[in-house]
Structure 1
Amino acid sequence: MSVATGVEPPSKAPTGTRPFAGFEWLLAGRYLRTRRREGFVSVIAGFSFLGILLGVATLIIVMSVMNGFRKELLEKIVGVNGHIFATPIDRPLDDYDVVSQRLRSIPGIRLAIPLVEGQALASSQTGNGGVLVRGIREADIKAIPFIGGNIKSGSLDGFDGTPGVAIGRRLANSLGIQAGDSMTLVSPQGAATPFGTAPRIKAYPVKAIFEIGMTEFDGSFVYMPLIEAQAYFNRDGDVNVIEIFVDNPDKTQSVRDAIEADAPRPLVLSDWRQRNRSFFNALEVERNVMFIILTLIVLVAALNIVSGLIMLVKDKTADIAIMRTMGATSGTVLRVFLITGAAIGVFGTLAGLGLGVVFAKNIKSIMASLNWLTGANLWDPTVRFLSDIPSVIDWGDVVSVVAMALTLSLLATLYPAWKAARLDPVQALRMG
């Protein structure tokens, strides 16, 4: 059966035999441009483009911030607290000098620091708060980069020779004191009397103020000389724990095995993964959930591509029928609508990629500008642990986001393009 169109069909299809010919790109481009009759279709295409752009950009930004959180928290938690913790089993750790020297000789161990730890109440004339007091030697505290390398006022020189303390900047601000001022420490573990244990109260000058950049540490850590801490907490020449810093925090198990094989005395070992497991697991779960939730934005935008192409196919039914009668194959029609839908997804993904990377790389400057415009601190370090918003771009995550967006966009075009290719030209012309 034939339909008279007034035009002799060409001996060859206008597109030739190679895929995605120039004719197909030209036609797809015309379908994407706005016309009065297809204005609503173009509006849907525009919203699809914006949806994919915002979805991809948001995914890249959120993944970068989550990566920055994990990196900063891991560096600071592990950098201040050590990687492996050795505590005594049978008797007090009064031979800590011998044990720490033996541990330093094990390959892979960078530092072995004996510590006395205890809780106390820090107070001044303007405030008070609970703190964690750590007794440490001067050489050891200077060897911890996040402490010795971040002194903001005062000095650690002569730390062992005087009963002074080093405190975090946030604690100093809350107590209203500066380097050179005095603060009072109150501990329930005081001297024994006939009426019970009396609290120990003692004033200490502040020798140095440090800033790690993590709210919990800057607001609660107090470092004092090891000998002074032993006297303050009634330690008879022993320590609570030996903190071990290794060269590679991700290979703590091999170092633990070496310690167990060469330890000078029985020790209970734990590492940073065990102590912070729930915290970092929560971060990983939050990261995965955010990825799934934000992927729905891209999925909704891809569904808009489906609806827009279906409407375009319905509107172009007569045009498709005329092309088919002139010699265009069903493959040509399929490719035209594939290009039309894929163009929205590809350009939206590329635009979102550029926006997300630029935003993630300049997030601190953008946050500072927003704080200036709103007149408020949008990043409260007391709630979010860190002083500044972190951002680390993981290009593996970026590739995954782009691949996911392109895949969803291309899959969204298959059904409408297939429907267009299956149109019967005779029935389409009769309906038109």
Structure 2
Amino acid sequence: MFRPLPFFIGLRYTRAKRRNHFISFISLISMLGLTLGVMVMILVLSVMNGFDRELRTRILGMVPHATINGYQPIDDWQSLAGVLTAHPRVEAAAPFIQLQGMLTHNGSVAPVLVNGIVPEAEAGVSIIDQHLEAGSLDALVDGQFGIIIGELTAKRFGVEPGDKLTFVLPEASMTPAGVFPRLKRFEVVGIFKVGAELDGSLALIHAADAARLSRWQPGQVQGLRIKLDDLFQAPQVAWELVTRLPGQYYAQDWTRSHGNLFAAIRMEKTMVGLLLLLIVAVAAFNIISTLVMVVTDKKADIAILRTLGSSPRTIMGIFMVQGSVIGVVGTLAGCVLGVLAALNVSDLVAGLERLLGIQFLSSDVYFINYLPSELLWGDVLLICSAGLGLSFLATLYPAWRASRTEPAEALRYD
């Protein structure tokens, strides 16, 4: 079988047991460093992709992509919803009323954002119905003052469906006995869990009940939440809708409420990727020291090859092959280990949390309470290409030095 001379001798040098064990050790360290760098880079970028995915699917699945709000309560929200859904980018629209206040139970108090919703329309713009641990959206009935709360809120108060909570509005009512805050008792009819900070800060009631608390007429709403086919088009689409609508409306979108978090994840992914690429570069350029020592150790062999008629280009190819083999093996090993780690890191961390009895990510601090991971093969290809490219570049200088070896000088003392 035909094999080019540089390829044949380069592989032979790679497989041979060297007389200098220190050179073999340095070669192994270079290979292991490259393997570790590639593996860590794949793993970390997969985790960053996971955070990015969870932000898009969970957080932005619960909060609206955009809202169209009226400066005055909207009377006929059904007609407005028809106008909004006529836009090709809008998939669904649902009315809402937002109230801020506090929930109290047995002396415990927690701030909460209460969304008044129409249950039959809410499923079109939110994933809440997919994450109900108890109860259902249909349990929110006009006039019965039911409330659906998050799992963290339920744990904080120690309540279950059927228990009562008191909602305190930040307004005062004048009574013959003096000034009192506005209070309303609600019955817990459902508990949701999305594994995010919203589990402790969001609650849902019927829009008609929210209108009564706001002292509006029945059927009036604050605005409409819309779901888009591409959430990244939210600012543009929201502006287009407002400019086309008759009357006085204003728009808000998710980039104002959670855009900073999304931008932070994107920036962190870019910066972490660059830092890890430097680790891969350091590991790859360790090949330079390995090949420089190999060239010094093989000067006699190089001189013999030159006297037998090998050209400098052939000598250069030999050591480029040898260095590239180290890079290929290290990169492929790191790729395999990185892919396996990225596919199993969520389960491994969850198992470690159960074993130690602690939680590394708490919803009170982070926006999700588990370590997500999403492996993108485009990232794997880019990382492996970078590792192989840097390894190849690292072979050029030592191989060039080998090709410049003079046979007479190399054999003078042998």
Aligned with residue 230 of structure 1, among 208, 211, 214: 211
Aligned counterparts, 1:3-402, within 5 A: 21=4, 23-33=5-15, 35=17, 37-89=19-71, 91-125=72-106, 127-161=108-142, 162-192=144-174, 198-214=180-196, 216-235=197-216, 238-252=220-234, 255-256=237-238, 259-260=241-242, 262-402=244-384
Please list the CA deviations of residues 228-252 of structure 1 after superposition, one character each: whole Å capped at 9, or x if unmatched: 1122234455433321112332444
Moved over 6 A (4+): none
Superposed displacement of residue 155, structure 1? 2.8
The alignment partner of 2:74 has SS state of coil
Q: Tell me the percent identity.
A: 36
Deviations, residues 141-177 of structure 1 (Å, cap 9, x unaligned): 3444511222111233241232110111121111111
CA change 1:147–1:190 in 2 (3 A) is farther
Following superposition, the deviation at residue 195 of structure 1 comes to: 9.5
| Distance in 2 of aligned mates of 1:145 and 1:83 | 10
Indicate the larger mover: 422-431 or 261-270: 261-270
Residues 117 and 260 of structure 1, relative CA distance in 2, 3 Å threshold: closer
Given the two structures, how large is their TM-score scaled by the length of structure 2? Answer: 0.91
RMSD between superposed Cα atoms in Å = 2.5
Q: Among residues 406, 410, 413, which one is paired with 2:395 in the alignment?
A: 413
Residues 170-225 of structure 1, C-alpha deviation per residue, up to 9 Å, x if partnerless? 211111111111112112224245898631122211001111222x1111111111
Point out where structure 2 has 5 or more consecutive residues left out of the alignment.
Answer: none
With over 3 angstroms needed to count, the CA separation of the structure-2 counterparts of 1:359 and 1:49, relative to structure 1, is same
Structure 1 position 98, deviation (Å): 3.6
Counterpart residue type for residue 227 of structure 1: A
Distance 1:26 1:373 in 2: 52
Distance (whole Å) between structure 2 residues aligned to residue 158 and residue 177 of structure 1: 17
Cα–Cα, structure 1 residues 258 and 325, in superposed 2: closer, same or farther, change >3 Å? same
Q: CA deviation at 1:383?
A: 2.8
CA distance in 2, matches of 1:190, 1:224: 21
Residue 188 of structure 1 contacts residue 198 of structure 1 at CA under 8 Å; is this kept in 2? no
Instruction: Check conservation: 1:189, 1:197, Cα contact below 8 A.
Output: no
Alpha-carbon offset, residue 344 of structure 1: 0.7
Query: Which structure has the bigger radius of gyration?
Result: 1
Offset, 1:376: 3.2
TM-score, length basis structure 1: 0.88
Give CA-to-partner distance per residue, 1:364-408, whole Å, 9 cap, x none: 222233334544333434333113322112222211111111110
The whole-number CA distance in structure 2 between the counterparts of 1:232 and 1:64 is 46
Match of 1:10 in 2: none
Contact 1:188 1:197 survives alignment (8 Å): no
Higher deviation after alignment, 322-331 or 281-290 = 322-331
Shift, 1:106, TM fit: 3.7
On the 8 A contact 2:94/2:225 being kept in 1, the answer is yes
Alignment match of 1:424 (pick from 376, 398, 406): 406
Greater strand fraction, Structure 1 or Structure 2:
2
How many residue pairs match? The answer is 412
